Structure 1
Amino acid sequence: MIGLIGGISWRSTALYHQRINEAAERRGGRNANAESVIVSLRYETLLEQGRAGNWDGVADAIVAALARASAAGATLGLLTAVTPHRMFDRITAASPIPLLHVLDPALAMLDEQGIGCVGVLGTSYTLTAAPFLDRIDAAGLAWRIPDEPGRRDLDAMIQDELTQGVVTARAERRAMELADDLMAAGAEAVLLACTELPLLAWRRYDRAPVVDAVTSHADAAVVRMDL
Structure 2
Amino acid sequence: MKKIGMIGGLSWVSTAEYYKRVNEITQMTAGGVSSARIVLESVNRQDYVSAVIDRGDEAAACQQIADSARSLQSAGADFIVITCNDVHRFVPTIEPMINIPFLHIAQVTAEAVKSKGLGRTAILGVRKTMEGTFFPEVFARNDLETVEPNEAEKKFIHDSIYEELVHNRFHEETRGKYKDVMAAMGQRGADSVALACTEIPLLISPGECPLPAFSTTELHCQAAVARALDAR
What range is the shorter-chain TM-score in?
Answer: over 0.9
Structure 1: gaps of 5 or more residues: none
**2:40 aligned partner, one-letter code:** I
Distance in 1, matches of 2:51 and 2:181, equals 28
Tell me the residue number matched to 2:10.
Answer: 8
Range moving further from structure 2, 189-198 or 137-146? 137-146
Q: Per-residue displacement from partner, 1:77-117 (whole Å, max 9, x unpaired)? A: 11110111112100212134211111111110110100021
Q: Which residue of 1 aligns with 2:228?
A: 225
In structure 2, which of residues 91, 103, 117 is the aligned counterpart of residue 88 of structure 1? 91
- Checking the alignment, whether the CA contact within 8 Å between 2:73 and 2:98 is kept in structure 1 is no
Residue 37 of structure 2 corresponds to which residue in structure 1? 35
* Structure 1 contact 66–96 (Cα < 8 Å) conserved: no
Equivalent of 1:185 in 185, 188, 191: 188
Pairwise CA distance, 1:206: 4.9
C-alpha deviation, 1:204, in angstroms: 5.1
Q: Deviations over 1:129-185 (max 9, x none)?
A: 123322222221122121111111111110010000000011101111111111111
How far off is 1:54 after superposition?
A: 1.6
Rounded to whole Å, the distance in 2 between the matches of 1:157 and 1:95 is 34
The worse-fitting range, judged by mean Cα deviation, of 108-117 and 66-75 is 66-75
- 1:15 partner amino acid: E
CA contact under 8 A between 1:119 and 1:144: conserved in structure 2? yes
**Structure 2 stretches lacking a partner, 5+ long:** none
Aligned residues: 227
**For 2:209 and 2:200, how far apart are their aligned partners in 1?**
16
Q: Which moved more, 1:197-206 or 1:176-185?
A: 197-206
Q: Alignment partner of 2:229: what SS?
A: coil
1:186-225 to 2 correspondence within 5 Å?
Answer: 186-203=189-206, 205-225=208-228
What value does the CA root-mean-square deviation take over the aligned residues? 1.4
Offset from partner CA, 1:17-38 (integer Å, 9 cap, x none): 1121122112112411111011
Which whole-Å CA distance do the structure 1 matches of 2:139 and 2:52 have between them?
22
Question: What is the TM-score of this pair, normalised by structure 1?
Answer: 0.95
Task: Give me the whole-angstrom Cα distance separating, in 2, the residues matched to 1:119 and 1:154.
Answer: 12
**TM-score, normalized by length of structure 2?**
0.93
Amino acid corresponding to residue 93 of structure 1 in structure 2: P
Write the distance in 1 (CA, Å) between the matches of 2:86 and 2:209. 27
Q: Which runs of 4+ in 1 moved over 6 A?
A: none
SS in structure 2 opposite 1:63? Answer: helix
Aligned to 1:170: 173
- Deviation (angstroms), 1:8: 0.5
Counterpart in the other structure of 1:142: 145
CA distance in 1, matches of 2:35, 2:86: 27
